[in-house]
Structure 1
Amino acid sequence: MGSPADAAGAPAGQRPALCLPEPTGPCPAGTTSLWLTDTSRPDPWAAEAVARELMVSLWYPAATPEGRPAPYMTAAESELQLASRSITGIPPDALSTVETNAVSNATPAGQQRSLPLVVLSPGFTSPRSTLTALAEDLASHGYVVAGIDHTYESFATAFPDGRVTTCLAREARRRGSGSQEKVAAGRAADVSFVLGELTGAHPAWPGAGLIDPTRMAMAGHSAGGAAAIAAMRADSRILAGIDMDGSTAAPIPDQGMARPFLFLGKQSNYTPGAGIIASPDGKHVKGAVITWERDWALLTSWK
């Protein structure tokens, strides 16, 4: 994707478009958003919230490529994401102008119960939109993808009623009351709830009948990747997982986990089975290195 810095340096009136790479698969991609409410549990971060509300984006093979691409995020989300990261010198709505590829509310394509489902969980403080390029590419190859905004764990999550929630979980972690284990457990619960909403008797999405409930996996980045093992331990419907650069929190039981799993990280910092590798200065060891080495030995399926 083109960078905000590139946009900032363009001549007035000639700001280049920020755009995601085109998907590589043969299918056009469609997308839609769901506003889901889990009334079975309170929100873990907002004491006054008696139910857990989630925004979820779905990407899927579309019947036609015709239509308007969906927005990357709202202008309000863009402003908060940039401000919270102290990124200045570019228009506050810059991220809302990113050009995507998936057509908004396109008609889904596929046969009933034929498409595998992948759940995507973003990094801590990041919105689900940060995984849009990956989701669009998976959809172009015939997957249904559910990207979850874990409410109050992102700098900004916009709801259809006009509310924009902020990252209360970050403040809780600063006070010592928002542990990595709490984040992972909450995300595991979010994932299980979304799976139920998509594959239950009364699904929340009209196209849910395309999903094959016997082929469901989860992938995530950073905190989202760390939550993949927690979610797999909590929900046997998740048959495979991917952790992209996330220190795991939920330990695997001594008997191991016999489902396929992938750790995706920087080879210069870590090679599975080779032991702990320090940073070039010899002073720092990334948390993921320690937990990955621990978990690697307990993964008894493909890895």
Structure 2
Amino acid sequence: MRLRGRTAVAALSAALLLATPVATAQALPGPAPAPAASAAGTVELPRPTGPYAVGTETLHLTDHSRTDPWVPESGDRELMVSLYYPARVGRPGATAPYMSTGEAEALLARLGLGDDAPALVSSLPTHARTGARTARGSFPLVLLSPGFGNPRATMTSLAEDLASRGYVVASVDHAYEAIGVAFPGGRILTCAACEAVETAPDEEAEQEVVKAVSTGRGADLSFVLDRLTGPRPAWEHSGMIDRRRVAAVGHSIGGSAAASTMLADPRVDAGVNMDGTFQERIPASGLDGRPFMMLGTASHSPGDDESWDEGWQRLDGWKRWIGVDGSGHSSFTDIPVLEDRMDVTLDPTVTLSTDRQVRITRDYVSAFLDQHLRGHHRPLLDGPTSGNPEVVFNRP
């Protein structure tokens, strides 16, 4: 089956947009839940695996050169950015909340998961600490973009792990493109872009909306890069960022946006698309030889999504097309952990355990970044390994 038209648009949206927790081809996946742990409230985000402690800070950025494309009357384009950074091991501080209860309520309202679900989500234990002292050194920067409708919080596990391995991670919420994101002034924005897709009169109009999301996010990520590495940076610790080593990584439409960012911004050295249909065609000239990895489910195997087939042929640098058997569209996010936390299963076709979903995502993304931002060869990317039997290297 080739993804196109309404099917392609549906594949962009994580199941947070669904009204009820039913299984679909692109629904939030989940292994069998762990009732005892969920009931006791002991499920936490998997611990980071690197040698550094993890610090975090939140920035509110406004691009005064652009009006918001979804709600023009709101004014200039706004972004919320969670920075995760390598920190020194030592004096403990408070761990950052996963999200506020208000954000969780908005996030879960359309899933109908019960009155206690928002509290379970907002209280999910994390590992990044606010006010943590920065580690000494200069570190590569990873720009991280979530799936359509998903808040940046759903990428926390990957962000924390990358920071623990020595990366500064800027996880971005794009205004009016997610359900349940708090902005200054007590505002929790709706997903106006999601509504634009749902109310589009035809397939062509839908495609215009989702392409605009991808290219707009490319501009957002370039703006974040400007504010973190340019003159008068928005973050007081921007000096720890090595501006010569930058990657864009995203899930679903955020993965498409990673490619869109690279097409528009030569400062981005490498990119990863996690299970997202490309909304902006990679030109015949490719990405100027820059490395790119496509990491996805079986539904993104050769012949199943023509945007990946075409993209693969046009990528002109180091490239990998990696599939994960037994995974689902949201296996590359925190959703499996949240399912365990809430004792629900939203996609019974997913056969991987939560641990395997998290490990595979962390290991392959970090291996890619280590190899292309740090110059450290990672054999994990050379081909299949006995320790990862679920991982398939596609070579069309």
TM-score (norm 1): 0.88
Determine which of 42, 48, 56 is the counterpart of 2:73: 48
Counterpart code for 1:210: M
1:67-88 CA deviation, whole Å, 9 max, x = no partner? 1110011110000101023322
SS in 2 for 1:206: coil
1:281 corresponds to which residue?
none
Larger relative contact order (C-alpha < 8 A, sep ≥ 6)? 2
1:6 corresponds to which residue?
35
Q: Give the C-alpha shift of residue 180 in structure 1.
A: 1.4
Determine which of 228, 236, 245 is the counterpart of 1:215: 245
1:187 corresponds to which residue?
217
Counterpart code for 2:99: M
2:174 corresponds to which residue?
150
1:131-170 CA deviation, whole Å, 9 max, x = no partner? 1110110000110000001111111110232111111111
Matched, 1:38 2:68: no
1:33-89 CA deviation, whole Å, 9 max, x = no partner? 001111100001112022011110000011235111100111100001010233225
CA separation of 1:4/1:35 partners in 2, compared to 1, >3 Å: closer, same or farther?
farther
Q: How many residues align?
A: 282
2:282 corresponds to which residue?
252
Counterpart code for 1:298: R
Matched, 1:83 2:114: no
SS in 2 for 1:149: strand
* Bigger helix fraction: 2
Tell me if structure 2 keeps the 8 A contact 1:5–1:90: no
Tell me if structure 2 keeps the 8 A contact 1:79–1:92: yes
CA separation of 1:7/1:126 partners in 2, compared to 1, >3 Å: closer, same or farther?
farther
Q: Distance in 1 between matches of 2:131 and 2:184?
A: 15
Matched, 1:165 2:177: no
Tell me if structure 2 keeps the 8 A contact 1:7–1:90: no
Q: Give the C-alpha shift of residue 107 in structure 1.
A: 1.8
Q: Distance in 1 between matches of 2:177 and 2:47?
A: 29
Determine which of 292, 309, 315 is the counterpart of 1:299: 315
1:181-221 CA deviation, whole Å, 9 max, x = no partner? 11101101110110000001100001101101110001000
Tell me if structure 1 keeps the 8 A contact 2:41–2:120: no
Determine which of 47, 53, 61 is the counterpart of 1:28: 53
Unaligned runs of 5+ in 2: 1-29, 320-396
Counterpart code for 1:139: A
- Identity, % of aligned positions: 48
Counterpart code for 1:262: M
Tell me if structure 1 keeps the 8 A contact 2:270–2:291: yes
Counterpart code for 2:254: G
Matched, 1:138 2:162: yes
Counterpart code for 1:170: C
Q: Distance in 1 between matches of 2:114 and 2:74?
A: 33
Determine which of 43, 56, 74 is the counterpart of 1:18: 43
Q: Distance in 1 between matches of 2:32 and 2:213?
A: 30
1:261-298 CA deviation, whole Å, 9 max, x = no partner? 000012x4444xxx41xxxxxxxx4xxx2211110011
Tell me if structure 2 keeps the 8 A contact 1:30–1:104: yes
SS in 2 for 1:39: strand
TM-score (norm 2): 0.68
Tell me if structure 2 keeps the 8 A contact 1:219–1:243: yes
Q: Distance in 2 between matches of 1:83 and 1:7?
A: 24
Q: Matches of residues 238-249 of structure 1 in structure 2 within 5 Å?
A: 238-249=268-279
Q: Distance in 2 between matches of 1:97 and 1:89?
A: 14
Matched, 1:59 2:84: yes
Q: Distance in 2 between matches of 1:85 and 1:167?
A: 15
Q: Which stretch of the first structure deviates more once superposed, 80-89 or 17-26?
A: 80-89
Query: What RMSD over aligned residues (CA atoms) do the two structures have, in Å?
Result: 2.0
Unaligned runs of 5+ in 1: 277-284
Q: Which stretch of the first structure deviates more once superposed, 66-75 or 175-184?
A: 175-184
Q: Distance in 2 between matches of 1:2 and 1:238?
A: 35
1:174 corresponds to which residue?
198
Q: Distance in 2 between matches of 1:102 and 1:145?
A: 12
1:100 corresponds to which residue?
126
SS in 2 for 1:30: strand
2:151 corresponds to which residue?
127
1:200 corresponds to which residue?
230
CA separation of 1:137/1:39 partners in 2, compared to 1, >3 Å: closer, same or farther?
same
Q: Distance in 1 between matches of 2:162 and 2:147?
A: 19
Q: Give the C-alpha shift of residue 31 in structure 1.
A: 0.4
Counterpart code for 1:207: H
SS in 2 for 1:209: helix
